[in-house]
Amino acid sequence: MSRHIIEHLSRADPVLGGLIRAVGPCRLAIEGDCHPFETLARAIAHQQLNGTAANTILRRLVDSCGAGAFPTPAQVLAASSERLRAAGFSSAKVAALRDLAEKTVATVVPDAATLLQLTDAEIIERLTEVRGIGRWTVEMLLVFQLGRPDVLPVDDFGIRSGFQAAYGLRRLPRPQALALWGERWKPYRTTAAWYLWRALELKRAGTLPVPPERIRLPRIRRRRRSVAGRQSTRTARRAALRRDGISSAPPRRAGARKRSRPRRTPRSRAPGSRK
């Protein structure tokens, strides 16, 4: 990684600069070849599953539909729903996989050569048209396969938790506030995101540096909405995160008990009163 990037980030943000010095050189690995259909199909398989289970499903898909190679969109469309279900895809994932294949044939999902010519915003807009593919999934593709330098996945729980730890915050930053803070990291927000992921590793090891200054995140003015409007917005956001296979809340600590409501004590009745 260029020394210029490190100097830019450290100068723009002293807290991030301290984190960079503690972690050392950025070792972000780019996978290289990006085949949009295969990448998104794999992402659909991995949603809400561990890696072992998802890879088993993908191997079955290759064996049953691709004759040993990853199936093409045409082969997926030619396969019956029963065959895809037999590979291990749920009904929702079968629908998403078919929608991906249809949009690839229709060139809504571009081929690799075309994808490289598009901007980040254009890629996000086109790929999130696919059923089951949300913004977070596309941002992971931009970071780890296309190597785009200025991506900040503000909905990622690991990045939000890393920011909370590195900056000494008492609560998780809201995505909108994190996006505004990250404006100072442009045009190298991908590198900043990688260091925020590493912050949690330092915290577990007990080597996370104390922030040199206390920060205040930008205040986000909340628009007043009706109760129904707030509930619909919250439901839509949770649905989008579920499409990407990520949770909108941190996992419950091991051994933590679910809070139960206190038992109601029955009222005493006067003798002879009606039941």
Measure the CA–CA gap between 196 and 205, rounded to whole angstroms: 15
Active-site residue (options: 13, 155, 156, 244):
156
| Annotated catalytic residue 156 | yes
Dihedral of alpha carbons 74, 80, 83, 85, sign? positive
Cis amide leading into 187 (omega within 30)? yes
Encoded amino acid at 256, one letter: A
- Round to whole Å and give the CA distance between 211 and 143: 27
Where helices occur in 81-214 by DSSP H, the ranges are 81-87, 91-105, 112-116, 120-127, 135-144, 157-166, 175-181, 189-205
Q: Cα separation of 13 and 7, whole Å?
A: 10
Query: Angle at Cα 243 formed by Cα 240 and Cα 244, nearest 5°?
Result: 95
CA-CA-CA-CA torsion for 44, 47, 53, 59, nearest 10 degrees?
10
For residue 156 the two structure tokens come to 């990622």
Residues that are catalytic:
156
